[in-house]
Structure 1
Amino acid sequence: MSGHVTQLWRHPVKSHGREALGGVTLTRGQTLPWDRHWAVVHDSSKADGSEWVPCQNFSIGSKAPNLAAIDAKFDEATGQLTLTHPALGRLVFNPDTKGEQLIAWAGALIPQNRAQSERVVRAATQGFTDTSFPSISIMNAASHRDVESHLGGPLETERWRGNIWVDGFAPWEEFDWIGKRLSIGAAELEIKERVIRCKHTTASPKTGARDIDTLSLLNEGWGHQDFGVYAEVTRSGKVEIGDTVEAL
């Protein structure tokens, strides 16, 4: 069975905004370009970007739900990143040279009882994804519709923070791909493991308020709290909206 690509997303600063793409070139053994390329380290962490570290070292949406409402647009030519938030307005800055502007802008979104945002770091080896290997996350649109059916209403796909959305497959078929390879456009990826979900998905990407208990939805409906799969690029190539997706 084959399907097609319906959405492509990157998240330049981990947990601080998402950006829709029309196409992207994937490189073997690397994360999606500019995805989680930067992260905001909190004041209880010593992370400096020199190596991959777990998400607990950063200011993230599971601890600060209001971060979920940030949208992003990155200009690769100039290095300028534009972030928008319904309560904060717009910020245009360079994450490499003006990270303190992001701390000042988004710091108010961090609850006072949590570790506070301190500095922006750039990933030296791989993007700050939630896996120790350079992963790209793949989401199945049919599985999302199944969750919406269980919920009894619409649910924003942005809650899942996936990189590549595919359609044309059976609900939850993506879990059968683990250990196999997937051809997506000109690229090929090996499916490694399920994505275990956290409280970030409970927050609205429009308002940042926790409004839907997605974790209970998954546990009650399917006996797990997994959505999507992590993959690793095994063959470099261009991927665009509408490209064919085929399990090998």
Structure 2
Amino acid sequence: MQIHQLWQYPVKGFGGNQMPLAKLQQGSYFPNDRQFAISIGDEKTATASDGTWFRKAHFLQLMSHESLAEYSCRYDDAANPRLELLHHGTLCLSIDPAEPADCQRFGNFFFTLLGSKLRGKPRLMTMKHQAYSDQSTALISIASNASLDAFAEATNTKPDSRRFRINIIIDGGAPFAEEGLIGKTLRCGDALLLVKEPVGRCAAINVDPATAKRNPDDYVRFMKAHFGHSNLGIFAEVINGGIIRVGDRLQPA
């Protein structure tokens, strides 16, 4: 198995960006992944302090706002951090997430775009040491091109990892064979990963990342009928940190 792509998704529910390498840290999420989220304007998130974790129902998400598939985000946390919002690849907003006025600009953008579909004024929220992940433990996601291809062939769609928001795309193996790695430790570069569990899919996969259109078919139900499950990918815990790169091999430790 070999790393084909590395993906970071800085803002929950939005498209991300590819990376040539990533520095994994023990017990942590994929670097800067889901570090930000945009609230739907409800009272709880409006009064919460940054760093407060909420369930995904409190945030903009593909399950309820499919137009988000038109947008992607980049985040550079170097000396001068910038969070960038792109629409179909064209930069439309660049902010410093440490500046309250800039965060308000980010929220205002989506209030203008989606105000009638929100409960109130949206807010850009930040997690510095955790992530707005759907699971409480710090895990990264891995899936194979073979699994993506099998889903695409069965649903008559184009293979696209963005539909599944996966951090590490690998080459090699049969479709869904990565589930056979559960319980095993993998070495990749200097990093060690303990594979924990499959990634169960939700209705977000019904949204085509290329068109931002919601498919009328329920792909979760389809997967259960066609494949006997609705999993695509695996979650792994970083038990030893290190730099991983596109082209690196994943192999049993």
Determine if the TM-score, normalized by the shorter chain, exceeds 0.5.
Answer: yes
1:208 to 208, 212, 215: 212
Correspondence for 2:180 = 176
2:11 to 13, 23, 40: 13
2:84 to 82, 86, 100: 82
Q: Does 1:233 align with 2:235?
A: no
- CA distance in 1 between partners of 2:10 and 2:40 (Å): 17
Shift of 1:116: 4.7
Shift of 1:117: 5.3
Cα 1:191/1:108, change in 2 over 3 Å:
farther
The one-letter amino acid of 1:11's match is Y
Number of matched pairs: 246
Structure 1 stretches of 4+ moved >6 Å: none
1:166 to 165, 170, 174: 170
Tell me the alpha carbon deviations over residues 4-40 of structure 1, each in whole angstroms, 9 at most, x when there is no partner.
0001001111113311101011000011111111111
Q: Does 1:222 align with 2:223?
A: no
Query: Percentage identity across aligned positions?
Result: 28
CA RMSD of aligned residues (A): 2.2
Structure 2 unmatched runs, 5+:
none
- CA distance in 2 between partners of 1:232 and 1:51 (Å): 22
Cα 1:244/1:14, change in 2 over 3 Å:
same
The one-letter amino acid of 1:55's match is K
92-101 or 82-91, which moves further after superposition? 82-91
Contact 1:96 1:122 in 2 (8 A): no
235-244 or 148-157, which moves further after superposition? 148-157
Structure 1 unmatched runs, 5+:
none
Shift of 1:66: 0.9
Q: With the length of structure 1 as denominator, give the TM-score of the two structures.
A: 0.89
Cα 1:19/1:88, change in 2 over 3 Å:
closer
- CA distance in 2 between partners of 1:113 and 1:106 (Å): 10
The one-letter amino acid of 1:10's match is Q
Shift of 1:212: 6.9
Cα 1:221/1:116, change in 2 over 3 Å:
farther
